[in-house]
Amino acid sequence: MSERGDQLDRLIRAELPLLYRVAKHLVSSAALAEDLVGATLFKACRAFPQVDGRHPRAWLIKILRNEANQHFRKRSSTEVELDDAEIGQTPHPEAEYFKQLELSQILETMQTLSADSMMILVLCDIEELPYLEVADALEIPIGTVASRLRRARLKLKNKLERIGIRGEFR
């Protein structure tokens, strides 16, 4: 195998668990998550010779995001448009709220959010990726990551409260 092939092999082996976890959070079934990851890896292998290699994890997540968006577009033709308002980088009380709830309740309710909201919550709050990597993966400014994350947390909090799940802010 060539040196470039070895690099791709190491990258895939290192990031495969992350890709699968993200895909599993985005779609309702393990089989569909596997399909998304498979399509992601296929496209990654084809495009790898042209990649600069600066942010390989973000590059793979970007491909996964595009595959998931394509799936959701097929499923529903409505897409949510979000503005790019920036917010401060201080921690939000919403983050503490979600720590107090059972993960299963959050994940089940997350499935009712838009694909954009789910993606930002999965990458930032579940996978705990740095905002810079998330910004690169989603091809948005870092301030937009923060504002979308805040709105996604608020949407999720409101949905959870509507079904009777409440937490306390500190």
pLDDT tens string 119-167: 999 999 889 999 999 999 999 999 999 999 999 999 998 988 888 777 6
pLDDT band, residue 38 (cuts 50/70/90): very high
User: What pLDDT is recorded for position 98?
Assistant: 61
The mean of the pLDDT values for the chain is 80
Alpha helix stretches (DSSP H) within 27-169: 30-47, 56-75, 93-99, 103-110, 115-121, 131-138, 142-162
Q: Which domain holds residue 11?
A: 3-75
Residue 7 and residue 64 in one domain: yes
Query: In Å, how far are 6, 7, 8 from 3, measured between CA atoms?
Result: 5, 6, 9
User: What pLDDT is recorded for position 85?
Assistant: 35
Residue with tokens 């500190």: 170
User: What pLDDT is recorded for position 94?
Assistant: 65
Residue 88 maps to a domain: no
Residue 68 and residue 105 in one domain: no
Segment 88-100 mean pLDDT? 56
Residue 111 maps to a domain: yes
Residue 167 maps to a domain: no
Cα–Cα dist 75/73, whole Å: 5
Residue 120 maps to a domain: yes
Residue 8 maps to a domain: yes
State what percent of residues in the chain have pLDDT above 90.
36
Higher-confidence residue of 100 and 117: namely 117
Name residues whose C-beta falls within 8 Å of residue 80's C-beta, 6 or more positions apart in sequence. 114, 116, 117
Residue 102 maps to a domain: yes
Total domains in the chain come to 2
Cα–Cα dist 154/151, whole Å: 5
User: What pLDDT is recorded for position 78?
Assistant: 39
Whether this prediction's pTM lies above 0.85 is answered by: no
pLDDT band, residue 86 (cuts 50/70/90): very low
Nearest CA to 142 out of 131, 150, 151, 128 is that of 131
Residue 84 maps to a domain: no
Residue 48 and residue 100 in one domain: no
Report DSSP state, residue 49.
G
